[in-house]
Structure 1
């Protein structure tokens, strides 16, 4: 009888200990997520249509944009918690990569550190197709388990092509937007006619989404600066294609 009572006590103690340890683990995971005002993925085209010089112009344009005082002002206007941002590089099927860790941009030092890494970011692919549908699917998964939490999730897609058949881009866009993610676009109009219209109809989506254009890669810095200010500052309510 005594042994039976002891065994029952031990079992209950072990169960209670297990529940306690599980609660500690779950609490530590919840506490590990840093609250930010925006989680932003810069989805950068590195397909075969982007040569070495054009890639350098893209990354140099991103770096210069983040060093612009207006970008830091936009981060401050966007809320008190800063933003979380990372880069995804994409090309054809199976050619997508998380090109860096997530950064928490909350002061000038963190913004400068991020800009410096953008400037020297290694290119993961040097060829392949331009499949925006694959870029969207991959990027959407990168929000999960990234250590941050925000009410606004945005994928910023830039590219000089990506016109896929069978409605593949539109289908991928719809799935991503349905999950609560906003998709914005920067159409680099070097090779494909009416690329802005394709982005508008098939790529962008979600509340306040919009598309902008760059005439070529030389225009990338100016265009991406304007686009980032629009994305980082408080959400627009109307209009999808600012001029």
Structure 2
């Protein structure tokens, strides 16, 4: 009952989550994708660079571009969010449309070069709330909407706990996938992946992948993007 009450309060306090707005766009995309990455204090400068470089490499990789081109509209809408601080998740790269190598290279450069936001702790729930609201404000319509959250720790100090925030996103027809980075985590041995499967993952066809370390991040992110872009989640709600 307490969780349901908090969920109702979160909906009331966050009007952007109450309903996705109707869009009169003539150029919809196949998928709206928010990449939400861990920028908390546990991530040092070298690890942060590996994470950003991994995303940039993945978004412009030929196999990801082939997956985008295989879709009916051949278009992906993507944005980058950094999270950590309670209530402090930040959009560091707003929505960009990716359709070909040129637009993918532009998105990759923006994601590699954007200034790092200031974050602390591991407020995953608040990151999901932020990403859900960002999808609600997207400039294009899409039948598929996904939040792709990666991190090296479980939910800590969120104003809205991760399971409740996840359920609010899923109620909007959004799929929530996870990428657990376990190498430097105290939650090694599959424990972090299991925590993400329980508290973060949600929606039809949702999944969690595991990166052995931050140097494995590019490989894991590329595999994740291909899976997210190429596969239509059965039963996903239309926008």
Normalising by structure 1, we get a TM-score of 0.81
Distance 2:199 2:110 in 1: 31
Distance 1:32 1:170 in 2: 32
After superposition, give the CA deviation of every residue in 1:57-103 in whole Å (9 maximum; x if it has no partner): 00100111122110100101132241100001111212211111211
Give the CA RMSD over aligned residues.
2.0
Q: CA deviation at 1:117?
A: 1.3
Distance 2:123 2:217 in 1: 20
Q: Does 1:209 align with 2:206?
A: yes
- Structure 2 counterpart SS, 1:141: helix
Decide which moves more: 48-57 or 29-38: 29-38
Q: CA deviation at 1:237?
A: 4.3
Cα distance change of structure 1 residues 30 and 229 upon mapping to structure 2, 3 Å threshold: closer
Q: Assess if the C-alpha contact under 8 Å between 1:35 and 1:81 holds in 2.
A: no
Unaligned runs of 5+ in 1: 1-28, 239-243
Q: Does 1:132 align with 2:129?
A: no
Q: Assess if the C-alpha contact under 8 Å between 1:104 and 1:110 holds in 2.
A: yes
Residue-pair matches, total: 209
Q: 2:197 aligns with which of 177, 195, 200?
A: 200
- Structure 2 counterpart SS, 1:103: strand
Distance 2:209 2:108 in 1: 22
* Partner in structure 2 of residue 177 of structure 1: 170
Q: Assess if the C-alpha contact under 8 Å between 1:33 and 1:147 holds in 2.
A: no
* Partner in structure 2 of residue 187 of structure 1: 180
Cα distance change of structure 1 residues 165 and 44 upon mapping to structure 2, 3 Å threshold: closer
* Partner in structure 1 of residue 78 of structure 2: 85
Q: 2:140 aligns with which of 139, 148, 151?
A: 148
Q: Which of the pair has more CA radius of gyration?
A: 1
Distance 2:215 2:178 in 1: 17
Q: CA deviation at 1:30?
A: 4.5
Distance 1:33 1:187 in 2: 37
Q: CA deviation at 1:173?
A: 0.9
Distance 1:224 1:147 in 2: 25
Normalising by structure 2, we get a TM-score of 0.82
Q: CA deviation at 1:162?
A: 2.3
Q: CA deviation at 1:218?
A: 1.0
1:1-243 mapped onto 2 (5 Å cutoff) = 30-32=23-25, 34-125=27-118, 127-164=119-156, 168-189=161-182, 190-191=184-185, 192-193=187-188, 194-237=191-234
- Structure 2 counterpart SS, 1:94: coil
* Partner in structure 2 of residue 4 of structure 1: none
Q: CA deviation at 1:172?
A: 1.4
Q: Assess if the C-alpha contact under 8 Å between 1:42 and 1:88 holds in 2.
A: yes
